[in-house]
Amino acid sequence: MNSTKKTRDIQVRSTNLNIDDIVAELREIRVASLESRKRHDRPPKLPSRKILAGVAEGLGAALFPNRLGSSELANEGIDHYVGHTLNVTLRDLMVQIQHELHYNSGLEALSPEDREKSIVITQAFAKRLPQIRILLDSDIIAAYEGDPAARNVDEVLVCYPGIMAITHYRLAHELHNLGVPLIARMISEIAHSSTGIEIHPGAKISGSFFIDHGTGVVIGETAIIGQNVRLYQAVTLGAKRFPVDENGTLVKGNLRHPIVEDDVVIYAGATILGRITIGRGSTIGGNVWLTHSVPAGSNISQPQTKQRSDIKSRN
């Protein structure tokens, strides 16, 4: 018995991880970090990614109760289910909005003004849900009509990663416009983690938008995308350069991403950079690197971009 206890004590000593010392060092680093950012010793809570994932799922169920909601729904119970789901989900969202407003305020406690603002934002967002549903219907139809492998619109809704990413984007975009950009970004990044498609909630995307396959697609914050646009996998609508101020700090908020007009198709691997315009009805071929505007009806392929580059270098 004594031998067993002695062996256990030796094992404990040999696996001593010095947790107390590590906790103390982490506390010192944490406090220094808070002081450098002029934050409180106990900073306000950030919105919860886990809760926002549930919010996005609940909103999807309310928008598409027959396909993303409960499998046990009867026709006569759909409105009740939608109402209950919205009531729970929007209340959860309002609390997360309060967290973001409180965090941004820098105050010790949530102010009455920010509490009221959270209600106003939630109500305004709720009123936008019917319009979001209309836009998503157009996206789903565009995907069904644009993909010969799609058997029906229900398959598109429940299977296609592009539709999941667009759904999260359309919810996030409204929240971004309503003044809660952190929550908006978190909701977009939830879909990014699942689909490999990154759409910044600040981008402006019209209806009938289709992302086929999708993995590796990146759409930047100030991109503008017109009606009936189709993107394939690994397309980037990005910034050409990142200007800095006199202190060497990145300048935020400038218009740095492309404008893609109506009825444009951009094939896999194309990289389009800078505040340029892709004219209406154009087709951008696979793996094209494009940093200049093209007029309506253009058909851009790799040899064309290379030829243009050669002409510039000779001149």
- Contact status, residue 43 vs residue 35, Cβ threshold 8 Å: no
Q: DSSP E strands: which ranges in 46-202?
A: 198-199
CATH of region 35-197, choose from 3.40.50.300, 1.10.3130.10, 3.30.499.10, 1.20.1250.20: 1.10.3130.10
Beta strands in the chain, from DSSP E residues, in sequence order: 198-199, 204-205, 210-211, 218-219, 224-225, 230-231, 236-238, 259-260, 265-266, 271-273, 277-278, 283-284, 289-290, 299-300
Alpha-carbon span 258 to 272, nearest angstrom: 7
Q: Do the beta carbons of residue 146 and residue 214 sit within 8 Å?
A: no
Q: pLDDT per position in the chain (315 positions), as tens?
A: 566 666 555 554 556 678 888 889 988 988 887 776 665 556 678 999 999 999 999 999 999 999 999 888 888 899 999 999 999 999 999 999 999 999 999 888 999 999 999 999 999 999 999 999 999 999 999 999 999 999 999 999 999 999 999 999 999 999 999 999 999 999 999 999 999 999 999 999 999 999 999 999 999 999 999 999 999 999 999 999 888 888 878 788 799 999 999 999 999 999 999 999 999 999 999 999 999 999 999 999 987 655 555 555 555
Domain residue ranges of the chain, discontinuous segments joined by +: 35-197, 216-315
Measured CA to CA, the distance from residue 231 to residue 233 in angstroms comes to: 7
CB 229 within 8 A of CB 281: no
Spatial neighbors of 171 by CB under 8 A, at least 6 apart, are: 56, 59, 132, 187
**Measured between alpha carbons, how far is 50 from 58 in angstroms, rounded to an integer?**
13
Question: How many angstroms separate the CA atoms of 9 and 260, rounded?
Answer: 68
The CATH superfamily label for domain 216-315 reads: Hexapeptide repeat proteins (2.160.10.10)
User: 179: number of CA atoms within 13 Å, CB side?
Assistant: 15
Q: Tokens for 94, please give them.
A: 């309002």
